Amino acid sequence: MSNRIDGMGRLLNRDTPVSFTFNGKTLSGYQGDTLASALLANDQMLMGRSFKYHRARGVVASGAEEPNALVNMGEGARFEPNQRVTTTELFDGLTAKSQNHWPNLNFDVGVINNYVSKFLPAGFYYKTFMFPRFAWKHVFEPIVRHSAGLGKPPTEADTDRYEHFYAFVDVLIVGGGIAGVQAALAAGQSGAKVLLVEQTAHWGGRAVVDGAIIDGKPAEEWLIETLQTLENMDNVTIRTRIMGAGVYDHGYALGYERITDHAPETNAPRHRLWRIRAKQIITATGAIERPLSFAGNDIPGVMLASAVRDYLVNWGIAVGQRTVVVTNNDDGYRTAIALKQAGLEVPAVIDVREQVQSNLAKQARALGIEIREGRAIASVKGGKRVTGVGVSIMQGTGGAQEEIKCDCVAMSGGWSPVVHLWSHCGGKLNWIEEHAHFAPDPKRPPLGDEGQGFVITAGIASGAMETGTVLQNADAAGKSAAKAAGFASKRTRVAKADDVATQVMLPAWILPTNALPELRAKMWLDFQNDVKVSDIQLAAREGYESVEHTKRYTTLGMATDQGKLSNINGLAVLSDALGQEIPQTGTTTFRPPYTPISMGAIAGEARGEIFQPLRQTPIHQWHVGHNAYMEPVGLWHRPYCYPRGEETHQEAVTREVNNTRQKLGLLDASTLGKLIVKGPDAGKFLDMLYTNMMSNLKPGRCRYGLMCSENGFLVDDGVVARIDEDTFLCHTTSGGAERIHGWMEEWLQTEWWDWQVYVANVTEQFAQVAVVGPNARKVLEKLGGMDVSKDALSFMGWADGILGGFDVRVYRISFSGELSYEIAVPASQGRAFWDALHAAGAEFGAMAYGTEALHIMRAEKGFIMIGDETDGTIIPQDLGLNWAISKKKDDFLGKRAQQRSHMASKDRWQLVGLETLDGSVLPDGAYALAEGENANGQRNTQGRVTSTYHSPTLFRGIAMGLVLHGPDRMGEVIEFGNIDGTTISAKIVDPVFYDKEGIKQNV
């Protein structure tokens, strides 16, 4: 059957029916429906199950505050759990399934929790499940985990796209109700750049639903005209489907735009996360109606009065045929009147107040609606749907009930301004007795970068409760925001509306006032998490007096709605239990986002190929084309090795090492950092940065240097070449370039700013190729163009020249122990040069090698590797590099730190070579064991492995390591531990395993 009422439903387009499925059943609604309204139209009141007791749950609200009606939506790559039906626009082909039940929605085994709910009060799990000890992990927790959670996990990778967008405005206005619109008008007329966003697809908020009269015409008309005016203003942008998700420091706000949620097939990003920087932010976020706490208030069919009204007016739905309204304020009457005027039955308005004489009450009476004053609902009949209510006197215990049959209960507990965005960044609140709610304190706003307040509230979000005052308040907000943003506001007239005289509400936190315990145990505060009045009272009794304690102990307000419906009622019950005023109890902290936002939107465009920048050398494509196995080095990808055919990585590495040692190897060394340091004080500067003396390096020569942090630790190394009298070129480690460049600039700008030195990072200006091996010189001579002989270009020298027609700079340096030239060419010619080397080198056995071969060859030579021999705790002295530490210099970075007692100690572990007795390869990171245990029962150690490889050259395992007094213990055999408890014997040897005299690199 359909619950649609002909001629009603201002948001519906009845000409466009839409078909969708719920739990496999095909249903139909109209364009303009939300999933909630469409389900209700199809008389589907039961929409889910609660979190803890698996109780039947129907929709209770009509907007973002909905705690109950969450569904699994979509399928495959577009599946999404916990979709709130009230904020889900209906589209053709939408598929939804209800959640948190087994086997199905109508019959859920989990409901067993409900029948024993008496035994599962707040925090019961803290008091139980303790024995036997293993049981929590293996028995109880699995049960808890299984019954917890709500929606199903998505299983496939998301195929939609997401993006971010930076917007800068003078005034951001959040909320498209009449307050937001009026504020936008006021701010816009001042000339300020204004962005007005509305989270739903529709403007107008409550006023248009409740038929307010503005400037003598229906709110709807005024709205359409005013929006048109705004549309016509160049300095104003108005957008729907963007939710103000969060307010952050210095005027930063997040806007969550849902672009295709209502039209998934559109070729557009699904969500766009707006990062808005606003001089001023106006939150015109409206208010949320509070439920009332009475026994059975969670039974499907019990709904917020405003929601019942929304469904009727916006979507032409009769939630019930017979609706009992229960209220503590005038607003509830609006629902009763609307229903009655729509021809539906309203058997009674239960008003907790005595003598209600307000205009709205009079109107209701005039329509023949019976008003039960000083009464309360003491019980709700029905299981999966309301069938009636038991009414008793408000000032009682809930006895002597009179039953009224009904299929819907509309409750109105008063209105709470939406203060989330105001509070995110520190805005403070005042308790307003008259309306029993917290409202923003304009005197204590969040503070911006200049200490100025940068958030202003407008309309009911400020606590202005009636149309007339809402408009005035919003106009003032718009003007003062513009002014604060530096725009003189025009004196424009404010739209006028009459305030309806209302009778003061009666804060009634539980119904009836003296309800007995068995009733309080059925009064729901948090519908999703199943937190009841009795739970809060228990928490208070147990000393969880801070509101944060109570929240965490009972889980009140921790559900997906983050307490939008439950917080104030919970606070009130807690305060009452503690016998203190509500402001004394205070609120929990409001944290972003206002409602949950997709992880996809937060990640934005950064996924797949552009998840992170991938730095490529000019030769990158060649590596890829030659089956290189790439390894990340910082953001670079470098070839680890180039497997051929069926080769394993290790076989490939062995081949590359052997070929390089015996013939000719080519390495793409472009990632090596290259920094030009120039100026009269360049030498002096480098003397401070490096542990060695650099100022006395001769132009045309190279020197290996070490850099330490001020804390003494070795941070980088590389070869420095002196280009001319006041110019040096410093090589850094791959990926070290930016760090060291920044390090140099920092010292020059913040410490030695009077020194005349400029630094430029030319790392990417050059492709650099290491030409290595006995045939290295041959291939260069074949290319021709410059003299690369030993005499013309000796070891540790460099020269500019031409090779094979390329402008090159050749460094005669070696990290492998072989005859080696590192050749820099302009990056744009890097690939061509690389190809030329391969072509010319073919006859000499040229073959590319990767980083692993590089590492093995440097280890065979006993060269240290930053990141292997060093780990941030190592000083050069530990590595036997004292030769590279100048004794002549008064000072260099790290010098003083290295003199501290622990660093000067003779008992530091020091670098040695290690050879296993059986020739095997020592495990990575293995520790050398010492006798006994320390005071904490840990096995004593006396060293560790820093680099360990199988040497294809020496056909055995070789390693470097740090060992206590190592250099004095040459030849000694020590034991290295294995994770499996076994040990490996290794001999302490010289770290240089290959060509100790260094003849090969010097030919």
Partner 1 sequence: MRRYSAFAVAREALRYNKGWGRAWRAPQPKKHYDVVIVGAGGHGLATAYYLGKNFGITNVAILEKGWLGGGNTGRNTTIIRSNYLQDPSAAIYEKARGLYETMSQDLNMNVMFSPRGVMMLAQTQHEIRGFQRTAQANAFQGVKTEFISAQRVKQLVPIMNVDGPRYPVLGALWQERAGTARHDAVAWAYARACSDMGMDIIQKCEVTAVNQSGGQVTGVETTRGAISCKKLAILVAGNSGDLARMAGFRLPMESVALQALVSEPIKPCLDVVVMANTVHGYISQSDKGEFVIGGGTDMYNNYTQRGSFHHIEETVRALVETFPMISRMKMMRQWGGIVDVTGDRSPIISKTPLGNCFINGGWGTGGFKSIPGSGWGMAELVAKGEHGPLTAEFGLDRFNEGRFIDESVAAGVAH
Partner 2 sequence: MLIFECPYCGVKAEETELHAGGEAHLTRHGAGASDDDLKSYLFMRKNPKGVHFERWQHANGCGKWFHAARCTMTLEVFGTYSAQTFEPPAELVKKIKKKRPDWEGWT
Partner 3 sequence: MSNAVSALEGASYQGFAQVREMGLQGMITLRGDFDNAIFKKTLKLISGCNVPALRELNHSKSGTVVWMSPDELLVLCAYDKAQVVTEKAVKQFAKTHSMAVNVSDARAVFTITGNGAREVIAKLAPVDMAAFKKNEIRRTRLAQVPAAFWVSDDDQITIVVFRSVAQYVFDLLKTAAAKGGEVGFIY
Structure tokens belonging to residue 530:
């199943």
Which of 18, 61, 64, 150: binder of partner 1 (CB under 8 A)?
150
Which of 65, 89, 163, 860: binder of partner 3 (CB under 8 A)?
163
- Minimum distance, C-beta of residue 329 to partner 1, in the bound complex (Å): 30
State yes or no: residue 998 binds partner 2 (CB under 8 A). Answer: no
Site string for partner 2, 269-298 (x = CB under 8 A): ------x-x---------------------
**Which one of 94-102, 272-280, 447-455, 851-859 is the stretch in contact with partner 3 (CB under 8 A)?**
272-280
State yes or no: residue 629 binds partner 1 (CB under 8 A). Answer: no
Alpha helices, DSSP H, located in 864-996: 901-904
- Minimum distance, C-beta of residue 742 to partner 2, in the bound complex (Å): 7
Distance of CA 537 to the CA centre of its chain: 36
Instruction: Catalogue the E-assigned strands of 286-342.
Output: 287-289, 302-304, 323-327
- Minimum distance, C-beta of residue 765 to partner 3, in the bound complex (Å): 4
Q: Under a CB-based contact definition with an 8 Å cutoff, are residues 677 and 669 in contact? A: no
Q: Under a CB-based contact definition with an 8 Å cutoff, are residues 772 and 816 in contact? A: yes
Residues 578-607 that bind partner 3 (CB under 8 A): 605-606
Which of 164, 381, 549, 782: binder of partner 3 (CB under 8 A)?
164
Which of 92, 576, 781, 868: binder of partner 1 (CB under 8 A)?
868
State yes or no: residue 750 binds partner 2 (CB under 8 A). Answer: yes
Task: Give the span between the Cα atoms of 418 and 287, in whole angstroms.
Answer: 5
- Minimum distance, C-beta of residue 739 to partner 1, in the bound complex (Å): 15
**Which one of 77-85, 392-400, 751-759, 804-812 is the stretch in contact with partner 1 (CB under 8 A)?**
77-85
Distance of CA 799 to the CA centre of its chain: 51
636 binds, among partner 3, partner 2, partner 1, none (CB under 5 to 8 A by kind): partner 3
Alpha helices, DSSP H, located in 164-247: 178-189, 205-209, 219-231
State yes or no: residue 843 binds partner 2 (CB under 8 A). Answer: no
State yes or no: residue 751 binds partner 2 (CB under 8 A). Answer: yes
- Minimum distance, C-beta of residue 610 to partner 1, in the bound complex (Å): 10
Residues 280-299 that bind partner 3 (CB under 8 A): none
Alpha helices, DSSP H, located in 776-878: 776-783, 830-841, 851-860
710 binds, among partner 1, partner 2, partner 3, none (CB under 5 to 8 A by kind): partner 2
Distances in Å between the alpha carbon of 924 and those of 150, 631, 747, 921, 979? 45, 18, 37, 9, 11
- Specify the DSSP element, H or E, that contains 437: strand 437-440
- Minimum distance, C-beta of residue 157 to partner 1, in the bound complex (Å): 3
- Minimum distance, C-beta of residue 99 to partner 2, in the bound complex (Å): 35
Q: Residue 295: beta bridge partners?
A: 523
Residues 6+ apart with CB under 8 A from 906: 965
Residues 6+ apart with CB under 8 A from 891: 688
Task: Give the span between the Cα atoms of 576 and 573, in whole angstroms.
Answer: 5
- Minimum distance, C-beta of residue 252 to partner 3, in the bound complex (Å): 10
632 binds, among partner 1, partner 2, partner 3, none (CB under 5 to 8 A by kind): partner 1
Q: How far apart are the first and last CA of the chain?
A: 96
State yes or no: residue 828 binds partner 3 (CB under 8 A). Answer: yes
State yes or no: residue 618 binds partner 3 (CB under 8 A). Answer: yes
- Minimum distance, C-beta of residue 750 to partner 2, in the bound complex (Å): 5
Burial class of residue 641, CB neighbours in 10 A (0-12, 13-18, 19+):
buried
Cβ nearer to partner 3, comparing 79 with 766: 766
Task: Give the span between the Cα atoms of 821 and 836, in whole angstroms.
Answer: 15
Q: Under a CB-based contact definition with an 8 Å cutoff, are residues 262 and 34 in contact? A: no
- Minimum distance, C-beta of residue 900 to partner 2, in the bound complex (Å): 6
Residues 581-610 that bind partner 1 (CB under 8 A): 589, 591-593, 596-600, 602-604, 606-608
Q: Residue 674: beta bridge partners?
A: 731
Task: Give the span between the Cα atoms of 309 and 316, in whole angstroms.
Answer: 9
Q: Which amino acid is at 624?
A: V
- Specify the DSSP element, H or E, that contains 303: strand 302-304
Burial class of residue 935, CB neighbours in 10 A (0-12, 13-18, 19+):
exposed
Q: Describe the crossing of helices 776-783 and 830-841 by its angle, rounded to 10 degrees.
A: 110
Cβ nearer to partner 1, comparing 52 with 322: 52
Burial class of residue 749, CB neighbours in 10 A (0-12, 13-18, 19+):
exposed
State yes or no: residue 746 binds partner 3 (CB under 8 A). Answer: no
Residues 351-390 that bind partner 3 (CB under 8 A): none
State yes or no: residue 746 binds partner 2 (CB under 8 A). Answer: yes
Cβ nearer to partner 1, comparing 784 with 872: 872
- Minimum distance, C-beta of residue 738 to partner 2, in the bound complex (Å): 10
Residues 16-55 that bind partner 1 (CB under 8 A): 51
> Pseudo-torsion of CA 73, 76, 80, 86, nearest 10°?
-20
- Minimum distance, C-beta of residue 154 to partner 3, in the bound complex (Å): 22
- Specify the DSSP element, H or E, that contains 442: none
Site string for partner 3, 234-253 (x = CB under 8 A): ---x----------------
Task: Give the span between the Cα atoms of 99 and 874, in whole angstroms.
Answer: 56
User: How many residues sit in the footprint of partner 2 (CB under 8 A)?
Assistant: 29
Q: Which amino acid is at 543?
A: G
3-state SS assignment for residue 143 = helix
Task: Give the span between the Cα atoms of 350 and 372, in whole angstroms.
Answer: 5
- Minimum distance, C-beta of residue 49 to partner 1, in the bound complex (Å): 13
Which of 17, 118, 165, 917: binder of partner 3 (CB under 8 A)?
165
State yes or no: residue 232 binds partner 3 (CB under 8 A). Answer: no
State yes or no: residue 115 binds partner 2 (CB under 8 A). Answer: no
Task: Give the span between the Cα atoms of 109 and 103, in whole angstroms.
Answer: 7
Site string for partner 2, 398-437 (x = CB under 8 A): ----------------------------x-----------
Distance of CA 244 to the CA centre of its chain: 16
Cβ nearer to partner 2, comparing 111 with 903: 903
Which of 201, 233, 432, 897: binder of partner 2 (CB under 8 A)?
897
- Minimum distance, C-beta of residue 450 to partner 2, in the bound complex (Å): 7
Which of 201, 224, 832, 930: binder of partner 3 (CB under 8 A)?
832
State yes or no: residue 447 binds partner 2 (CB under 8 A). Answer: yes
Strand pairing report for 629-633 and 95-98: unpaired
Task: Give the span between the Cα atoms of 32 and 90, in whole angstroms.
Answer: 7
Residues 651-710 that bind partner 2 (CB under 8 A): 710
903 binds, among partner 1, partner 3, partner 2, none (CB under 5 to 8 A by kind): partner 1
- Which of 3, 7, 2, 28 lies closest to 17, judged by CA? 28
Task: Give the span between the Cα atoms of 376 and 398, in whole angstroms.
Answer: 8
Task: Give the span between the Cα atoms of 564 and 568, in whole angstroms.
Answer: 8
Residues 457-516 that bind partner 1 (CB under 8 A): none
**Which one of 129-137, 194-202, 437-445, 822-830 is the stretch in contact with partner 1 (CB under 8 A)?**
129-137
At which residue do the structure tokens 């760090």 appear? Answer: 739
Point out which residues bind partner 3 (CB under 8 A): 161, 163-168, 193, 195, 237, 266-269, 272, 275, 277, 605-606, 609-610, 612-618, 636, 676, 678-680, 756, 758, 760, 762-766, 806-807, 826-829, 831-832
Q: Which residues bind partner 2 (CB under 8 A)?
A: 248-252, 275, 277, 426, 447-451, 710-711, 742, 745-746, 749-751, 753, 890-891, 893, 895-897, 900
